[in-house]
A = this chain, B = another copy of it.
Amino acid sequence: MSAPVIAIDAMGGDFGPHCIVPASLSCLAENSSLHLVLVGQSSLLEQLVAKHSGVDHSRLKIVDAPEMVAMDERPAQALRGKPRSSMRLALEQVRDGNAQACVSAGNTGALMALARQVLKTLPGIDRPAMVTALPTQGAPCLLLDLGANVDCPAAQLYQFAIMGAVAAESLGTEQPRVALLNVGTEEIKGNQQVKLAAALLQQAPGLNYRGFIEGDGLYRGEADVVVCDGFVGNVLLKSSEGLAGMLVAKVEALFRRSVAARIVGAAALPLLRRLRAELNPAQYNGASFLGLQGILVKSHGSAGADGFKAAIRRATQDVEHDLPEQLRSRLGQFLSGDRLSSGADDVTAGDGWSSN
């Protein structure tokens, strides 16, 4: 495999280039085969790069993009009103073969709309889904969608399940156990979309479909791939981050309650911090878009430099596994004919992030 080239939308996220440029340069220093294309306001990016010494400029390119997509901008505006945004030009680097993957911390809705227009979806896929791996009591579990699609008809949930299974296989899981997230495991439970998706998945040839799963089953490690709409997946992911943060704060407070507790804490906290590092959300940062004709990783908008580095590493892994090609070659087996197309193939139609 040739050296990976990653295009970085340097202007996105809550902290913008002041966080993304140092994170990118740090990745470049750590991985000597990595090449990066920083896309954004070139004068600003050059200034920020110049602050760092020892940068290998032979593996770093800056592409000027005079416009940027705001975090609260409507997808339609990003699509039609900003032909030279850093987000669009970073995606075009992938489309034009100048990079093998794109990483952005920008507005999810705009990123979804632009990615569908610039990179296009794979044959048989209506809309891409965002996926990430969550730690569980067993092996990590792939959860999708994480927020790119707030409303999902059954056919889309079906497509997400298939894509999740292929992604899990490419990560080394044989016959991955696929489950639909629901409010109960009995057949009568759930909303209409989930029940219809279950009926489709029960008939999917070659898929190891295990039925419904609840949120607690996910963390017990009862499935390798868990499928839900983007509203639910986003809430699950963010509430998990919030709960983990609350528990860490409570444990630290616990070991400050008394002198005796402080003494125990002095010994226990370093161990607990090691566990925290293992489960660190920043380490799990970076959600891959599945279903596009190219690799795109979304970093959390609020990610700091460590989180953004994790997103770049995820993109590098996706390049190694050549996910879009694996998906393309396997989807034909599962997706036959029009039966499973939801018909939402227009770039903006059904885009839950837009209020159109």
Taking beta carbons and an 8 Å cutoff, which residues of A are in contact with B?
71-74, 108-109, 135-137, 147, 150-151, 181, 183-184, 186-192, 195, 214-220, 228, 230-232, 234-247, 249-251, 254-255, 261, 264-265, 267-268, 271-272, 274-275, 279, 352-355
Asked whether, in the complex, the Cβ of A254 is within 8 Å of the Cβ of B272, the reply is yes
Residue on B nearest A234 in the bound complex, by CB: B183
Residue on B nearest A186 in the bound complex, by CB: B72
CA distance A293 to B48 in the complex (A): 64
10 smallest beta-carbon distances between A and B, as pairs: A215-B239, A219-B242, A216-B242, A215-B238, A268-B268, A72-B186, A183-B234, A264-B267, A219-B246, A150-B191
CB neighbours (8 Å) of A236 from chain B are 215, 235-236, 239
- B235, B246, B271: the one within 8 Å of A264 (CB): B271
CA distance A39 to B74 in the complex (A): 56
Most buried by B among A137, A230, A235, A274: A235
Asked whether, in the complex, the Cβ of B243 is within 8 Å of the Cβ of A355, the reply is no
- B147, B216, B249, B279: the one within 8 Å of A137 (CB): B249
CB neighbours (8 Å) of A191 from chain B are 150-151, 231, 352
Residue on B nearest A237 in the bound complex, by CB: B215
CB neighbours (8 Å) of A237 from chain B are 215
- B188, B242, B243: the one within 8 Å of A244 (CB): B243
Q: A188-B353, A254-B272, A353-B188 are in contact. Are A243 and B240 (CB under 8 A)?
A: yes
CA distance A186 to B279 in the complex (A): 28
Other contacts beyond A72-B188, A188-B354: 4, CB < 8 A: A108-B184, A151-B192, A240-B243, A265-B268
Asked whether, in the complex, the Cβ of B275 is within 8 Å of the Cβ of A254, the reply is yes
Asked whether, in the complex, the Cβ of B239 is within 8 Å of the Cβ of A255, the reply is no
CA distance A137 to B253 in the complex (A): 11
Residue on B nearest A110 in the bound complex, by CB: B188
- B109, B150, B251, B279: the one within 8 Å of A250 (CB): B279
Asked whether, in the complex, the Cβ of B187 is within 8 Å of the Cβ of A214, the reply is no
